[in-house]
Amino acid sequence: DLIPDDEYKELMNITSPFHINVETLIHVMQVMENSIKMGLDPTTQHKSDLKMIPTYVTTIATKREEGDILALDLGGTNFRTLLVKIRPQHDPVVISEAHIVPDSKKQNSQELFRFISDVLKLFMIRNKLDLNKKFILGFTFSFPCQQLALNRANFLYPTKGWGLQDLIDHDVVEKLQECLNEKQLNVRVTALINDTVGTLIACGYKVPSCKVGIILGTGTNACYFEDISKIQTITDTTVLPLEATQMIINTEWGALGDSGCLDFVVNEFDREVDKVSNNPGKQIFEKLIAGMYMGRLAAEVLAVLMNHGIILKAQRGHQESYRQYSPFWVLYNLQTSHISEIELDTGKTFANTRTVMNKLGLPQASDADCAIISYTCRLISRRAAMLTAAAIAVLMKRLRGSNKVCIGIDGSLYRYHPRFNMIIQRHLKTLAPVLLDYELHISSDGSGIGAAIVAITADQER
């Protein structure tokens, strides 16, 4: 009732591509199921959007492990150094520090690993670790790799806006180890894992029924326990423990849609976000969902609404005279964290929405502006959470045989968005297998802790 009828109609029209329903989700599930099957079969793998990468992790921890283990967690935005104290039958005690990776270090692998090694050294000194003592280290590297063993992984391709072209087809463990040696650190990398795997393993340490690990942060991805008999792409089984029957598979589900199979969901705004990204045509599913893109997506829609004179009419007058400050460009500073803030508003006062608009440099947003901005953000994150639910449901269908499935989730989008979890849960009720008992767990810092746990098991198997 804040908005005139004709403007309301136009608003509905412009935002309608973000409305999806259960039928759309079921279609997404079918597309993903097909991709999973193709990805597990060596004859069709090259055509599949989902790479379904074997991780060589075949069990969760026994909880008999013991040691003080270092871990590095390299996400898309954040980089964490961790010291994880693992004691039998106890929850790990974790000391962790977060760092930002400067954009200048995201291009060349040697510069990146030298930077990481320096940060690690300072972390060890700050925490009074004896630099003469030998340490083992688990490395969480959240980019697609072809894993050959726990401590051998060839980099496949960059995502989330990173460069690292020089690292493609090289062993990431070897490259990191070289830089650690160069800095005279007495640290040996015994395992490289994907962040989804870390999340699953860390969650599994607390909840043994954990079978799925999911990341909803800068990017999105998931892994799950698959029967080794169904993974026809494993060629060398000699590196596996004899009793292994299952292995964690890294789905790389962010790439779903790269072949065009999600074109029934992808709209003109998504295409724009894809076009201006570092990797156009790649990681289509990720771009519909993850933290790196959702703010931009909302900005694209809001910019169109502004051009149509539906929002920020008062501010629009300045557009020509102050080009660099024009509200149109300022809109593009909208981040996914702002969307979380906006969605914290309840009722009709829009205090948070107003705060965000002020922060962006768009003061004096009217009540009608705020109502529309908030509606748009909710619509975009609702679609993202619904698509996530569909993807989770597919993995649950594959795990139908289990009695109970716990799903570990890490990443700032999931942790801090006020409604993401609720929307996922609501749609899982319709999409997940009826008889399967499941629960979602936040696995805070799990991606790093898991690397330490895998590193110690890898070391003990030797």
Question: Applying CB under 6 A, which residues contact ligand ADP?
Answer: 75-78, 217-218, 291-292, 335-337, 340, 411-413, 416-417
Mark 358-377 with x for binding to Mg ion (rule: CB under 5 A) and - for no binding.
Answer: --------------------
CA gap 431, 183 in Å, rounded: 51
> Which position among 86, 447, 451, 455 is part of the footprint of Mg ion (CB under 5 A)?
447
- Partner that binds at residue 226, options Mg ion, ligand ADP, none, CB closer than 5 to 8 Å by kind: none
Output 3 or 414, the one with its CB closest to ligand ADP: 414
Structure tokens at 144: 């697609």
Mark 173-212 with x for binding to Mg ion (rule: CB under 5 A) and - for no binding.
Answer: ----------------------x-----------------
Output 292 or 395, the one with its CB closest to ligand ADP: 292
Checking phi first, is residue 160 left (phi over 0); if not, alpha (psi -120 to 50) or beta?
A: left
CA gap 123, 108 in Å, rounded: 23
Exposure of 53 by Cβ count < 10 A (0-12 exposed, 13-18 middle, 19+ buried)?
buried
Output 71 or 306, the one with its CB closest to Mg ion: 71
Which residues from 213-242 bind Mg ion, rule CB under 5 A?
217
- Partner that binds at residue 446, options Mg ion, ligand ADP, none, CB closer than 5 to 8 Å by kind: none
Rounded to a whole number of angstroms, the minimum distance from the CB of residue 7 to Mg ion is: 41
Rounded to a whole number of angstroms, the minimum distance from the CB of residue 287 to ligand ADP is: 12
Q: Is 75 one of the binding residues for Mg ion (CB under 5 A)?
A: yes
Q: Is 448 one of the binding residues for Mg ion (CB under 5 A)?
A: no
Determine how β-strand 187-193 pairs with β-strand 210-216.
unpaired
Rounded to a whole number of angstroms, the minimum distance from the CB of residue 423 to ligand ADP is: 13
Rounded to a whole number of angstroms, the minimum distance from the CB of residue 325 to ligand ADP is: 24
Stretch that binds Mg ion, among 67-75, 92-100, 270-278, 383-391 (CB under 5 A): 67-75
CA gap 332, 329 in Å, rounded: 6
Contact 140, 71 (CB under 8 A): yes
Rounded to a whole number of angstroms, the minimum distance from the CB of residue 402 to ligand ADP is: 27
Residue nearest to ligand ADP (CB): 75
